[in-house]
Each structure stands twice: as C-alpha cells, then as structure tokens.
A and B are shown apart, each in its own frame.
Chain A
Amino acid sequence: MLGKSIAIGQFIPIESPIHRLDPRVKILISAILIVVLFIVKEWLSFLFIGSFIILLTITARIPISYIGKSLKPILFLLAFTLVLQVFFTPGDYIWEYGVLHVSREGLIRGLFIIVRLCLLILCTALLTLTTSPVELTDGLESLMSPFKKWGFPAHELAMMMTIAIRFIPTLMEEADRIIKAQQARGADFESGSLIQRAKNLIPLLVPLFINSFKRADDLAIAMESRCYRGGIGRSRLRILKLRKADILFLSITIIFITMVIFLSRFIW
C-alpha cells in the first residue's frame, strides 16, 4: 500500500519550457550550478545564483509548496550543520554559557553553509521535478557514451539506474509487508537503545536482501530471454535530439555563470 503513494522519482508531469528541455541540457545545467555553488564565496554570488534558480523554478511552473517539501527531509541536517558551525568555530565570542560559546564567525559561516546546502537541494530538486526517470537515464547514458571508448560502462550503468528506480516503490512495499509480518510475531522496531534497534532490524533486512537477490536472478533470466546481451547492437525507442531552445538555455546558463565567477573573483 505504501508504494502506491510514491511516484517514481519526484517527477511532476506538467507542461513548461523547462520540462520540454533535453534532459542532457538539464543535467549539465544542474551540474554547472552545483559546481559554481562550491566555487563562490560571497553572499552576493549566492544572491545571483539563487535568483537564477528561482527564475528557472518559476519558468518550470513548479508550485512553491513542492520546493518547500524537498527541503523538509534535510531540515535535521541543516540544523545539525548550523549547530556544528556555530558552536565549534573559533573567533570573537558574542555569547557564552559555560562551556558553550557562539562566535560571530561561526554564526556567519554556519548560515553560509546552510544557504549553500539549500541552493544545492533546490538545484537537484528542480532537475528531478522536471525530468522523468526515463529521460534522466536516457540523458545520463547519452552524456556518458563518449567515455565508452575508454571502457566506461555507460549503458550498463544506465540500465542499473533504470532498474533501481523501477524497483524503489516495489521494495518499499515489500519492506512495509515484512515489517508488519514481523510485528505480528512480536518484533519491536521502535523501542530500545540504538544498538538494540540495529539488531532488531535483522528480521527486516535479511528477508529484504534475500528477496532482492531472487529478484535480480529472475530479472537476469527474463532479460536474457528477451535477447539482452549488453549494449552492443541495441537500438533505442527514444533518440535525444537537441533543439534551438536547448542550446539557448545552455548558452544563457554558461554566460551567466561565467559572469558570476568573473564578478566573484575580480570584483567582489
């Protein structure tokens, strides 16, 4: 029952210029933005990049609520990072309480890292919200293909990704079933020390792993039966073709990012 609520990935199938973009372009744009977020060190740069991402989000017609939702899972990580930076960075102390000190540097650094994390998440969320799993794996496979010359298993990796994504809801449902079945035998997944709870996971993890191995076996047999022999000689249902809009978006992004890096390095 659990799996039924989960669409594969977070893809929202609506019409927008961003949705229509070639997945390779979207992957490249995301990659570029992520790299830049790690290079720049100024708040002003963040402002520019953040605005760019928000502009893309609006163009993609993604409801703001979805953005909020993608940040929810990492709220704990954000709080933890902030605490770590705030309490353990040396500098001018602006607040003290016994052993704990808060420094000005720590506060600023902490906030900086949090904003960077948020922007990173927004960037990847934008990618997965506007690109279906099929497009994502097609795009990745296409981008990785040039490296096949040097033995890089682009096709195999893309196939593994497809299968993994396909089975996420199925495995979640299975985990749910196993948990319930073990609870019916008195298993307790909720109480006890951390070590106790780790041990208590065995009745869940062992069957899940064993069933997954069986699945993998069955799948391999089914794939072979349908004449799968790796990537050689395969044709494709979908062939990706770049359009003017794709080149345009990519160019705009590259120009914009170059500008930001330039400003960051030499002006700010």
Chain B
Amino acid sequence: MATAAITAEREHYLNKDYGIRSWLLTTDHKRIALLYLASITFFFFIGGFFALLIRLELLTPAGDLVQADTYNKLFTMHGMVMVFFFLIPSIPAVLGNFLVPMMIGAKDLAFPRINLLSWYLYIIAGIMMLHCIVTGGADTGWTFYTPFSTAFSNTKVVEAGLAIFVAGFSSILTGLNFVVTIHRMRAPGMTWSRLPLFIWAHYATSIIQLLGTPVLAITLVLVVFERVFHLGIFDPTRGGDPLLFQHLFWFYSHPAVYIMILPSMGVVTEIIPCFSRKRIFGYHAVALSSIAIAVFGFLVWAHHMFVAGISLYSALIFSILSYLVAIPSAIKVFNWTATLYKGSITFSTPMLYAFGFIGLFTMGGLTGLFLAALGIDVHVTDTYFVVAHFHYIMVGGAVMGYLGGMHFWWPKISGRLYPEWLGKFAALIVFLGFNLTFFPQFILGYLGMPRRYWQYPPEFQVLNVLSTAGSTILAVGYVLPMVYFLWSMRYGRIADDNPWGAAGLEWKTSSPPPTYNFEETPEVTWEAYNYDQIPAPVEVSVER
C-alpha cells in the first residue's frame, strides 16, 4: 500500500505555503485553478440538484411535485447556474489556468493578479446568484426573453442579471489573460506550429470570450435598466422591439456555446495522441478548425430565431451559415478518428472519456444539422428535441471532455493517481446514464412535447420516465469521481513526472510542479506530439 505522506519534502506549489491567506491571496495560476475547481464543482452540484428536481417532477404528467411557479424557477436557475457558473468557466478556469503557462513553457500567466481578480469576481457573482436563489430566484428561463422578463415577471430578474454580469467580467478577464500569455510568453522555440492543440483551442475560446461576453453584459444592463426605470427599449407597448433583445442576447449566447465546447475539444486532442502513441492526424487542420469555429460562430446567432418573426431572407442566410459552422467540427471528428489508425492504443479512463466524447458529440452535432434545416426547425424548435441536442453537446461533449481532462492531468495536479478501475467504472456509468437520460428526449421533441413544461399530456409519460431513470444513474456517475479524487489526495499512489508517457512541456516537470513550473525555462526544439521520441510507459495505469 502506498504511503500516505510525500516522503522527501520536495517543494512544490501545494506545500510551498500553508494557511488560508496563502490560498486566498495567491497569484500562482495553479492554486487559482484549484480555487476554481472547488467553486465550479460546488455550482455543478447546485445546478445538478435543480436538474434532479426537474426530472422528478416530470416523472408524472401532472404537476404534482412542486408548483408551476417553482418549476419555472427550477429550470431557469438550472440553466443560469450550469451555463454561467459551471460550463463557461469549467475547463478554461481549471485546466486552462493550470496548464496554459506550463504547456508553453512560461512561469505563470501574463497577469497573475488579474487572474486572482477573475476568481474573486466569479465568487462575488456566485454569492449574488446564491442570494438570488435563496430569496426566490428568477423564472424567466436562462434566456431572459422580453417583454416577460422586463415587464411581467415578478421574480428576482435584476439580481440574476447582475450576478451574470459580474460572472461575465470574470470570463472576459480570463480570456484576456490567455490571449496575452499565448502571444507574449511562449518559451524559446515554442512557435505557433509547435503549440499543443489544447492551446489553440483555448486561444480560440478566449477570442470568443473577449468579443462576445461584453455584448451579453450590455444586454443584461439594458434589461436591468428597463425593469428598474420602466424604459421601453424592448417593450412594444412603449415603442420598443422584443426581437432586438433576442438578437442582442443570441449574438453572445450562440458563440457562448463554442466557449463551452472548444476547450473540451482541446482536451480530447491531447488525450487521443497520448493513448495512441502517435501525433495527431492533421495538426494544422485541427488548429485552423478551432479558429474557424470561433469566427463562424459569430455569424449564426439568429438560427435561434427562425420562428421568432424574422424575415424569410434572414432565415435563409442564417441557415446556410449554420451549415458552414458545422464543417470545422466535423473535420475535428475525422482527424481524431484518423489518429487512431495504426496507433498503439490503450484504454485508460481519459481515453474512455475521449471516446465517449467523440461518440456523443458526433450525435449532438449531427442533430444540429436537423435544427439548421429551416423546415425541420419549425417543428422541433422549443421542444425537447432542442433540449436533447444541446445536452448531448454540453453534457455528452463538454462535461465528458472536462472529466477526461481531470483524469488525464490529475497526476500532474495532485501528484497522485486515482484508482483506475473506479475511473473506468464511473466513465461507463456516465455514458450509460447520459444516453438513457437524453436519447428519449429526441423522440419526445419530435412528438411535439414543448420545453419548459411543468405538466404534459399523458402519452409522453413513458419517455419521460426513461429519461428520469437515466438521470439518477448519471448522478451516481458524477458523484463517484468527486469521491475518489478526494480520496486519492490522501491515499492515492504517488505519481511520477509522466505516468502516461505524454508529450507536452507540462509532463517534463515534476508532479505536482514547483511554483514557478520549471527549474529552468525550457528551450523547445521538437514538434508537438513527438510520440516517436517518447517511450510508452511500462504500466499505463496503476491499479490500486
């Protein structure tokens, strides 16, 4: 049995200083990443709790668990918490913060104090959101459509809007830090073409965060002003236009979904080469596809408005652009698959999550083609078909990528190994639970069950029961990693510098790394994913 204590007291970022001040006033990007890890995990379980209540209510056609108003608050707060307090920060704030400087050979991000400020803004926003929740919450849906949110809802719309505004600021500063870091702090020899694709993915994500989030910020400010001062910018009875709100809102919120998925794609692009022992197929294609997704992602927002009252011609343009944005994602899927060809493959937990990601993201992405087709969208928009589509991508895609990344880099972050068999078991549970939860929802959507329905016609019950059953399995799958990661911090096997035999500068330093990441600034003379030069580890994963 491995010893609990780290024997030789080599100094690293975790044991350098102790005490709460050394954590709350840290400027070390690695510690900030862990601060974020704790916070976003907390909000993930809050959002997940709301989801469970929703699924419980939907076990029966009648509204018999909670009242209608409560249900409306449940799905609203589920969406707001999951989108703004979990999905948007998750990978960038945890894995990105931890890894971006290390992957490029830098000692820290460009602006470490702004990084800490980012976290504090997130916490302030989180406290505001929690206060909003416990004092009643909002019931507008996370989409805040007007004039309901500005002139009809009598819930905590202003508080929720302001909390999200502050969280957006946090997101902008993280993106700003990453862009400057990647531009200005690469180690000697680390050219753009040698960057890990995780970095390219985060670069693209950061561009979206910088350009898109401010538009959401001003939109929420206008909603708050309208509500508080009874203005009329979005209210037709006072000369305004509710569609203007939708355009402004979706101008951010569509690119936001690419903020949520691009980092996950970056994670998968690191995992697959490692466990196939070969370089990624089509490095430049994958790098450029990340940039293409970021650019095209800004051009398709009104595909959320095909039945909202926009003109026929607008609809045609946004539909065709939506097909264009699908191409770079398809390119990635093909390149990942091609990387497996003639590889030397092992099935570690991260690899299982990567496979799960490819499968589920492919299904979710393909259903996006349905929604981009105007004739189909008219029938399935605002139904469970859309709910299933975005959960396949957000949960089946982004969350699985996040979990895969957490398992992959856990030895680097903590210096410990998680129990591999439990990791694989949890991955399987997540995969099965996920599909049972969300596949029936495609069928429900085409049948016509609308979204945000507290009660529903009885013929939809069987599919809803299946979905709820799946969600309980999924919940177990999510709790398991939290338990065994915590357990491993004290009892897990000690990890060496590079237990996976992975490429990348972060694996050339100790696990956990020293505070300044590298004893000496590395000089890079090799290409990315140089698996021809790195021997496979003798044991890929260490069983407990």
**Real complex partners, A and B?**
no
